Amino acid sequence: MYVPVFVILCLLFVKFENGNCQAQQMLNKLVCIEHDECGACLSAASHCRWCADPNYNTGAPRCNDDESLVNTNCSQGFIQRPAKPVWNVVENSSLQDMRPNSAENVIQIQPQRIQLSLKPRETKKISFSFRPAKNYPLDLYYLMDLTWSMKDDKETLVSLRDDLPTLLKNLTDNFRLGFGSFAEKPLMPFISTDSRRLANPCSVEEVACEATYSYRHHLSLTNQVSDFIEHVNSSSVTANLDNAEAQLDALVQVISCGDKIGWATHSRKIVILLSDGLMHTAGDGKLGGATKKNDEQCHLDERGYYSDAATYDYPSVAQMYRLLDKYKVNVIFAVTESVKNHYDSLNQLLEDFTYVAKLESDSSNILKLVKTGYEDIVSVVDFHDDSSSGPVKVRYFTDCGVKGRPLIEGTRCTGVEYGMTLNYEAHVTLEACSDFKSSTQTIRISESQLGQDALTLEVDIQCGCECSNSVQEVVTPMCPANSHLVCGVCQCNKGWSGPQCNCEIGDENASAELLAQCREPNATRSILCSGAGDCLCGKCECDWGYSGRYCQCKSCEVSSYNELECGGVDRGVCVCGQCACEAGWVGAACDCPLSNDTCKPPSGGEVCSGNGDCVCGSCECTIAQDGSKYIGKFCETCPTCENPLCIHAEPCVSCHLNTGCTDSCTIGNVNYTVIERLSNTEDPYSSDVMCIFRQEEGSLECEYKYTYSPVQSESGIEISIRSKECYQPTSAMIMTSGLVIFGCVIAAGLIIILAVKSGQIVSDRRAYAKFLKEAQESRRNMQELNPLYISPISEFRLPDSFPRDKND
Ligand SMILES: *[C@@H]1O[C@H](CO)[C@@H](O)[C@H](O)[C@H]1NC(C)=O
Ligand SMILES: *[C@@H]1O[C@H](CO)[C@@H](O)[C@H](O)[C@H]1NC(C)=O
Ligand SMILES: *[C@@H]1O[C@H](CO)[C@@H](O)[C@H](O)[C@H]1NC(C)=O
Ligand SMILES: *[C@@H]1O[C@H](CO)[C@@H](O)[C@H](O)[C@H]1NC(C)=O
Ligand SMILES: *[C@@H]1O[C@H](CO)[C@@H](O)[C@H](O)[C@H]1NC(C)=O
Ligand SMILES: *[C@@H]1O[C@H](CO)[C@@H](O)[C@H](O)[C@H]1NC(C)=O
Ligand SMILES: *[C@@H]1O[C@H](CO)[C@@H](O)[C@H](O)[C@H]1NC(C)=O
Ligand SMILES: *[C@@H]1O[C@H](CO)[C@@H](O)[C@H](O)[C@H]1NC(C)=O
């Protein structure tokens, strides 16, 4: 029966390689034929059917499509079909904050219970929301170090009796307080066993104090603050020798003695541990003879003392972590500076359950510390589930409460505040059937720190057949020994194999006949199970990554989209190493949609805006004329281009900003939703194209930056306005700066003119003064004759002796 099938398969592959479409359709049919068991048959592909008719002995395959089975005379009533998918939201109550006096009615997760089915290689997406409830009950237990050095801290706490309730009321309306104290195991060498100091370990200080104890529970959780203060006031200190105390001993008791402490089922449980000492951990107890491993159980006597402190060792950090996780208790370590490093390193190991803060030496900052510690614990939301034991796998995606942010993979959100609604999506996947039986798996998804309300998934794992469920191991004469009738065929009992069910699995003396059945007929290399598996009683058990009767087929390609073979049950099936894709899908792992729809811009237009090619459902952009690359999901823009999608959306942005229209707005046949998410910081998760819109507002000019979602959801295309910047309009700016420049020029001119003028005046004055001086000087020297001066007047004198005219 198999031999012709494989020959046909081989022939078909040759044809398939040639891209023959009909071959692909035939492949789809042949997916079924290979299988000889009902569960495997129905799991192979959605169109495979199984004939469970015991009288069907035409020799034709029992696993085939509907039509073929009818043609080969399988009675209608015996044709096994895949089970119908189940999707049933059983509980979907709305989120509910705390109502007065009814902690039971708080709902923080919606929905609460869903029934669903999964076939192999199927993924279902489940959306759920989480909103931290206002006024969620808070159980706060004070665990105080009451060794001698903490005496003043106790007094501080008592003095804050009026402020404490005010502060707690500010955090939540429903709080309760409890009180306990710890010191040290009453053992050598941690305390002095001198008989006088045993009864009063403070005798050195010449005061009376209580005998050393490991842990003492004073007051169960109560809403009476006065009771709390009274118990703190009346507690007495004690003393020990070393600087390390029994913090962890006390924590184990506080956490595990639920009844005595009075932890509520629905509450946030916080222990605030005040200490100024280091802590003992596992192993230290052995010094004093407490050799038994800490048993994590409650051992409180009727007076509230830890009675087995001398028997059990201190717990280890790993034990501590398990307890905190199991009982969902958070611890705030309020410790003094000198030992803070020690607790910081503990905090790293117990992350998410602990918070370390510095306590002033007299505890004066204790209230502030409770507030910040509480807020730190509340601000982290994380989800976990208990799916690891079963075949179903869950992946989480979340927006962490940021409206409009795309969901990214992860469970943990920080910075969560009251009133925020966190949207999660759980992807529930069944990768393959481990055995072909129907079963159910219940998965509880809950918040890690509270763990109280949860989303419960009842997953129906559809790996089996109806006939194998109802007809239980019928022994009939039709079947040989060691076998029973299941779904119309004889199936060997557990431990037996072979065509006659007479070969015991593990029997090494298999006959040559059986061994021959593990060899692929007419194959070039005729190795047992193609060298990729073991031959057990004539049947090949294939190694991982191989399949087929002779392990001759490699596994198919895994889709990068959901990490399932051939893209999962909706997209394709694996036929001997090749994916046979469902209609609408192509590609080696059926990863690519056949249609070009995902490449078309939502506002309409060409595939990839005409600037790229649609490859495997997304655009590969070409280079624009100026050498830059087209960008955007639809290659709609380039650094120097106008973006048609921005322009298309602009009227809606304008309308929204000028409050002319509501949140939704329609242009042409496209619906838009405008949301404002002004952050002015870049969103690290976004690779969206930014659009810019400018408008005048009063005397200012404002610039808005917005993005658009690439796909149209129910509410249309989402436009989110990311930033707004306003400044003086450009014309006014030019005017002002023009005036300033003008003024400067004039001023500079005037200064230059003045400078020149005064320079002139000065030099004039100088010249004039010089002139005057020179003039004066020259007047004074007028008489002096220049030595070079030669008078033009020539004077001649007649000698006196010369006779003159008497009349002259
Ligand atoms: C199915 O039954 C019909 C009539 O009973 C018979 O003629 C036909 O040959 C059968 N087909 C096969 C494949 O046995
Ligand atoms: C639960 O109910 C809300 C309406 O209250 C609805 O929006 C939501 O889709 C429902 N959830 C499921 C899983 O059906
Ligand atoms: C209580 O909270 C409000 C704001 O949430 C704050 O203004 C006020 O100071 C707080 N009061 C105390 C006592 O912390
Ligand atoms: C604390 O106890 C002392 C006596 O031990 C008492 O005098 C004092 O009033 C108490 N203080 C408070 C706030 O109860
Ligand atoms: C295998 O066969 C040999 C002899 O043929 C026999 O001695 C041995 O017991 C057989 N082993 C098993 C597991 O049956
Ligand atoms: C295997 O090959 C031989 C010849 O090489 C041929 O005669 C025989 O029919 C083939 N068997 C099948 C099942 O195709
Ligand atoms: C999708 O687009 C590519 C080129 O962009 C084209 O070659 C192909 O024929 C288109 N396919 C369909 C189904 O429109
Ligand atoms: C846009 O919204 C209207 C009603 O508000 C609806 O009838 C129409 O189908 C929507 N169009 C698209 C493309 O979703």
Q: Which atom of ligand 4 is nearest to the CA of 159?
A: 13
Q: How far apart are CA 482 and CA 796, in angstroms?
A: 179
Q: What is the mean pLDDT of residues 90-118?
A: 84
58 Cβ below 6 A of ligand 1: yes
In the reported structure, the alpha carbon of residue 11 is separated from the centroid of ligand 6 by a whole-number distance in angstroms of 14
In the reported structure, the alpha carbon of residue 95 is separated from the centroid of ligand 2 by a whole-number distance in angstroms of 11
Mutate which of 89, 127, 423, 457 to test ligand 2's pocket (most atoms within 8 Å of Cβ)?
89
pLDDT tier, 17 (very low <50, low <70, confident <90, very high otherwise): very low
In the reported structure, the alpha carbon of residue 207 is separated from the centroid of ligand 7 by a whole-number distance in angstroms of 93
Residue type, 741: I
What pLDDT is attached to residue 509?
Answer: 62
Sign of CA dihedral 175, 180, 182, 187: negative
pLDDT digits (tens, 9 = 90+) for 33-74: 888 888 888 888 888 888 888 888 777 888 888 888 888 888
- Which residue's CA lies nearest to atom 5 of ligand 3? 170
Q: How far apart are CA 447 and CA 561, in angstroms?
A: 27
Tell me the ligand closest to 667's alpha carbon: 8
166 Cβ below 6 A of ligand 3: yes
pLDDT digits (tens, 9 = 90+) for 402-458: 876 778 888 988 888 888 899 999 999 998 888 888 889 999 999 888 877 889 999
94 Cβ below 6 A of ligand 2: yes
Tell me the ligand closest to 236's alpha carbon: 4
Of 106, 168, 166, 174, give the one whose Cα is nearest residue 137: 174
CATH homologous superfamily of 595-641 equals Laminin (2.10.25.10)
Q: Which atom of ligand 8 is nearest to the CA of 714?
A: 14
What pLDDT is attached to residue 31?
Answer: 81
- Give yes or no for residue 7 having a pLDDT over 50: no
In the reported structure, the alpha carbon of residue 721 is separated from the centroid of ligand 8 by a whole-number distance in angstroms of 22
Please list the residue range(s) of the chain that carry CATH number 3.30.1680.10: 1-82
pLDDT digits (tens, 9 = 90+) for 544-593: 888 888 888 888 888 888 888 888 888 888 888 888 888 888 888 888 88
What pTM does this model have? 0.74
In the reported structure, the alpha carbon of residue 496 is separated from the centroid of ligand 3 by a whole-number distance in angstroms of 74
Pocket lining for ligand 8, CB < 6 angstroms:
666, 669, 671, 716
Q: Mapping DSSP to helix (H, G, I), strand (E, B) and coil, where does residue 96 land? A: strand
72 Cβ below 6 A of ligand 1: yes
What pLDDT is attached to residue 69?
Answer: 86
- Give yes or no for residue 522 having a pLDDT over 80: no
- Which residue's CA lies nearest to atom 11 of ligand 6? 522
Please list the residue range(s) of the chain that carry CATH number 3.40.50.410: 138-380
Q: Which atom of ligand 6 is nearest to the CA of 522?
A: 1
Find residue 700's DSSP bridge partners: 697
In the reported structure, the alpha carbon of residue 223 is separated from the centroid of ligand 3 by a whole-number distance in angstroms of 20
Q: Which atom of ligand 1 is nearest to the CA of 58?
A: 14
Residue 650 has φ and ψ, to the nearest 5°, of -55, -45
Structure tokens of 24?
Answer: 């692909």
- Which residue's CA lies nearest to atom 8 of ligand 4? 233
Task: Please give the CATH architecture assigned to the domain spanning 87-133+382-461.
Answer: Sandwich (2.60)
pLDDT tier, 510 (very low <50, low <70, confident <90, very high otherwise): low
Task: Cite the beta strand spans of 643-797 per DSSP E.
Answer: 664-667, 670-676, 691-697, 700-708, 717-727
Please, how many CA atoms are within 13 Å of residue 402, restricted to the half-sphere of its CB? 19
> How far is the CA of 45 from the CAs of 125, 372, 570, 591, in angstroms?
21, 56, 10, 17
607 Cβ below 6 A of ligand 7: yes
- Give yes or no for residue 290 having a pLDDT over 60: yes
- Most confident of the ranges 313-317, 663-667, 678-682, 696-700: 313-317
In the reported structure, the alpha carbon of residue 126 is separated from the centroid of ligand 6 by a whole-number distance in angstroms of 53
Task: Please give the CATH architecture assigned to the domain spanning 138-380.
Answer: 3-Layer(aba) Sandwich (3.40)
pLDDT tier, 470 (very low <50, low <70, confident <90, very high otherwise): low
In CATH terms, the fold of domain 1-82 is ligand-binding face of the semaphorins, domain 2 (3.30.1680)
Helix ranges (H only) for 359-465 are 366-378
Between 337 and 508, residue with greater pLDDT? 337
Tell me the ligand closest to 11's alpha carbon: 6
pLDDT tier, 713 (very low <50, low <70, confident <90, very high otherwise): confident
614 Cβ below 6 A of ligand 7: yes
The dihedral over CA atoms of 59, 60, 66, 67, expressed in degrees to the nearest 10, equals: -120
Task: Answer whether 458's CB lies under 8 Å from 115's CB.
Answer: yes
Q: Which atom of ligand 8 is nearest to the CA of 716?
A: 14
What pLDDT is attached to residue 404?
Answer: 67
Mean per-residue pLDDT of the chain: 81
Please list the residue range(s) of the chain that carry CATH number 2.60.40.1510: 87-133+382-461
Please list the residue range(s) of the chain that carry CATH number 2.10.25.10: 595-641
Residue 342 makes CB contacts below 8 A (sequence gap 6+) with 278, 279, 335
- Which residue's CA lies nearest to atom 1 of ligand 1? 73
What pLDDT is attached to residue 473?
Answer: 55
- Which residue's CA lies nearest to atom 3 of ligand 8? 671
158 Cβ below 6 A of ligand 4: yes
421 Cβ below 6 A of ligand 2: no
In the reported structure, the alpha carbon of residue 99 is separated from the centroid of ligand 3 by a whole-number distance in angstroms of 22
pLDDT digits (tens, 9 = 90+) for 218-243: 888 888 888 888 888 888 777 777 77
92 Cβ below 6 A of ligand 2: yes
Mutate which of 69, 73, 74 to test ligand 1's pocket (most atoms within 8 Å of Cβ)?
73
Q: Which atom of ligand 3 is nearest to the CA of 163?
A: 13
- Which residue's CA lies nearest to atom 3 of ligand 7? 614
